[in-house]
Structure 1
C-alpha cells in the first residue's frame, strides 16, 4: 500500500528502447511499467552465389493494429530481463563457396516464448528463406517487407508472408531486406529495401556481386564462385516500448 501511495501522483511517459548490435544484454524494467510491446528481428543469413534471407520478425503488443504474433508481455518494475540480439551469418569465403551461406542468429526477449529466428543462408544458387527472401543467382533483386522472391529455375524462395515493419504497423519502418544473388548479365541486382542502414547485410567481394539487404537483419549478397567472399548478414535488433514514471 505504501508503494502505491508513494507513486499515485506521478506522471507516466512513453518510452522506446532499442538493443543493437548482436550480443547479450540485461534490461531492468523501470518504475511504473507493468507490460511492454516487443518487436524482434533475427540476424540476416549470409550469401553464397545467391543472396541470404533477411531475419524473421516477431511482434508482441497490446493493440490490434496491423500484424502481431502475440499479446503484450507482462513485466514488473525492477525485474531483470535477459535480451539476445541475433548476429548476422558470417561471410562465406572462396574455399567454401560450394557450401551454403550461414544462418543468422535468433533474437529473444526474456525466454524462447518471445523469439525471432535468423534468416537462412543461401543454398549455393538458391536464395535463403527469411523475413524477406533472398534472391537466387542471376534473377532479380532481393525481397522486401516480408515478400517472396521468384528464383525461376531455383524455385520460389519464401518470405515470412507478412510485414517486417516495426511492431507490424503500416507506419513503421521496414526491416530485414533479402540479399541479392550474383550476376553474369551485367545487371547488378539490389538487396531488399529497408528504412534502416544499421544492420544491413554486406555485398559480395567485387563489383557485380549481389548486394546486401537493408537492415536490421539484412541478408548478405551473393558472389561468383571465383571471387573472394559472399556477403555477411546484418545483425538483428530488439525494440521495446511501454510506459514508465517520469523521472
Structure 2
C-alpha cells in the first residue's frame, strides 16, 4: 500500500535533513504507530504520504505509484483517498458541525443527495449525532477532535493518517479518539498514527515504527498476547527509480 525506498528529505533553504535513508513498507490494512521525540521526522513522514512534501531523495509509493510523479489533478485525487487528522481540529469557526462536514463533501464533489447519510453516519461513528448543529466554540476540546475525525472519515478513505491526534486531550478523550481510529481500522482502513503517547500503544497494541533524527531505528510488531516483537533492521519497500 505505502512504501518508502531510500527516502530522504532536505529543506533547501536551511539545508536541514528531516529524513534520511528511510526504507519502510506499510501493507494494506495495517495499523501502524510512528513514534519518536519532537523533531524526529514523524510529521514529515506523514506529509510525504499525503504528498504535501516531495522527497528530495529516493521515492515514496502509494498503491504502486511514485508520488513524485503526480501532477495537478492527480495530487488532488490522491489526497481524496486519505483521511487526515491533525493535532488541532482545524474546524471552520463560522460553520456548525454539520456545515463543516457538508463543506468537505461539496469540495470533494460528492452529490448533494448523499450528504445527509454520509454526515449522519460519520457523526454516529464518533458519538456526536446530537452536536450536528453546534458551532466549534460550543464543543469541548475532545468533541472538536472527534468531529475532525468524522470529517476525515466522511468518504471512508482506504488510508487514515493521524498526526498527534491526542496531543491536546486528557487520557479519557485520548482513548475515545483511539477507539474511533481502531474501528476505522477494523472496517478495513490502513491507519498510521504519529504519536508520543505510550498509553495509546498499550491500549491498542500494533506495529510501532521508531524514528530518531530522521531515521527508522526500530520496527516492532506485536506478538501474540499483545507483547512486542522487534524486527531487526528497517523493512525494504517500493521499487528502484529508473
**Shared fold (TM-score greater than 0.5)?**
no
TM-score normalized by structure 2?
Answer: 0.26
Bigger strand fraction: 2
TM-score normalized by structure 1?
Answer: 0.26
